[in-house]
Structure 1
């Protein structure tokens, strides 16, 4: 029986690579993004695409209902849509912070609410939530982004404890830095969020330099697509999935030795 996956945010990066990889592995792939013009080639390859805004309930509902009507089941949901709203906590407008939560947390929660009844009815399903190593490690300027990913981790763990009796599992993938436009977008947002004559201008410069230094753990979107697939198909799923031992190690240090992590961050920022 052909399996069915729903993926949010498939116009670029990891989401796009995941849509292609799952299709190659024989899945029926349903997905969307706000930039529907970037989905034409995916549609030509047999991926079921549509305009999708995870903050719009009607848009989300249409994707879920379409997959169920055409395939009769949903095996996997990958909550990939997200972005980085970087900037000093003091200066990022609260409405921007709320938008970050709307996309990165509540967007995932909304589509999951629509998918779960079908998964419970069929007695199986896998929800793969794309978080970040930033749920545990941190740097200046990423406060709101990191907070959304930490929230997503806890939300996923609680959800897993609730849906496991129905044969459904909720797991987390924590990518590190990727070779994508993510960092550029995050720092473009940081620059926009600086007020005139901001006292944090030097912090922005040093944080950008920090990210430029950390290239040893970079993965391609295609690398992460394979991690998504493993998280979606493991017979005995793990709570967390990482691309590399380096990513996993950084999370371990930040959680188990927070003072050591803070000391290393301070050294790198000098």
Structure 2
């Protein structure tokens, strides 16, 4: 019998926490993890095992996977959820912040896959759920660094799905749209880290404002709670043949399809109508 133990990264709040709670309630053996261990202590009361895991730290990732593997035989399901959004005009984002974005959203995700795959291959069963975003299919001004990280997650997942399918491992992309969490606040706050001066000052302020508005204004009606993503993940794990991609919320379906059908020049004009054009 293969191990079906679930390891989830980034469970301190939002999608990760909701997923841990939902899967535990459904009978999965869940190992909920977070960089700050104290933020997930209460998940033990909801049926989860809890571990410290920092996806930017090699020793931390190795230790978490080893703990689950020793207890369960292997990690059967990996949910790569840890991530955040760095906003701001590309030129204005400090290169160290770009690296930090990719360390968390991309390199940590890749390394977690590398660490769990030997056990999955050995037992000929496993599922990897990579939390991408509608931002891995569309690009908004002021989000270039974040979008680049999620486009990378999409590409990695597409390649990985082909490479490990023959070993009995499914790779599933989940693409949330607007989700009511502190994610939007974090994204808006990250713009402030790029500085308040320079040629992009007004643009960056507008990006922060539009980001906050997206999560609190009329557009938020097309969003949903973290539990909507958790339900999608649970349904995908229960499927005999999960789909490669699962957009979540009306905003994701609407914007992904709109971008797919919109020529580049028309999309650019639409963005200019929504955002101030730097330099003009």
Aligned to 2:231, which of 226, 231, 251? Answer: 226
For residues 112-162 of structure 1, what are the alpha-carbon distances to aligned partners after superposition, in whole Å with 9 as ceiling and x for unaligned?
111001111111111000011111222222111000000010000001110
CA distance in 2, matches of 1:15, 1:78: 8
**How many angstroms apart in 2 are the aligned matches of 1:262 and 1:66?**
49
Instruction: Describe the SS at the equivalent of 1:159.
Output: helix
Partner of 2:51: 50
Q: Please give the secondary structure, in 2, of the residue aligned with 1:128.
A: strand
Q: Which residue of 2 aligns with 1:210?
A: 210
Shift of 1:220: 0.5
Moved more, 257-266 or 23-32: 257-266
What SS is found at the alignment partner of 1:237?
A: coil
CA contact (8 A) 1:87 1:141 kept: yes
Does residue 181 (structure 1) correspond to residue 182 (structure 2)? The answer is yes
Q: Cα RMSD (Å) of the superposition?
A: 1.7
State the distance in 2 between where 1:132 and 1:49 align. Answer: 26
2:242 is aligned with 1:237? yes
Conserved 8 A contact 1:84-1:100: yes
Structure 2 matches for 1:8-23, cutoff 5 A?
8-23=9-24
Aligned to 1:63: 64
For residues 94 and 177 of structure 2, what CA distance do their matches in structure 1 show? 26
Kept in 2, the 8 Å contact 1:3–1:26? The answer is no
- Gap change, CA 1:258 and 1:75, over 3 Å in 2: farther
Distance 1:210 1:107 in 2: 29
Q: CA deviation at 1:10?
A: 0.4
The SS at the match of 2:127 is strand
In the alignment, structure 1 segments of 5+ residues that lack a partner are: none
CA positional deviation for 1:105:
0.6
Q: Deviations over 1:226-245 (max 9, x none)?
A: 11222323211111101234
Q: What residue in structure 2 maps to residue 146 of structure 1?
A: 147
Runs (4 or more) in structure 1 with deviation over 6 Å come to none
User: Would you say the 8 A contact 1:67–1:73 is kept in 2?
Assistant: yes
**Alignment length (residue pairs):** 269
CA distance change for structure 1 residues 7 and 258 in 2, over 3 Å: closer, same or farther?
A: farther
Question: Are the equivalent residues in 1 in contact too, given 2:191–2:205 (CA < 8 A)?
Answer: no
Uncovered stretches (5+) of structure 2, i.e. residues with no partner: none
Which residue of the partner structure matches residue 170 of structure 1?
171
C-alpha separation in 2, matches of 1:159 and 1:246: 27
Paired residues of 2:188 and 2:209 also in contact (CA < 8 A): no
TM-score with structure 2 setting the length? 0.90
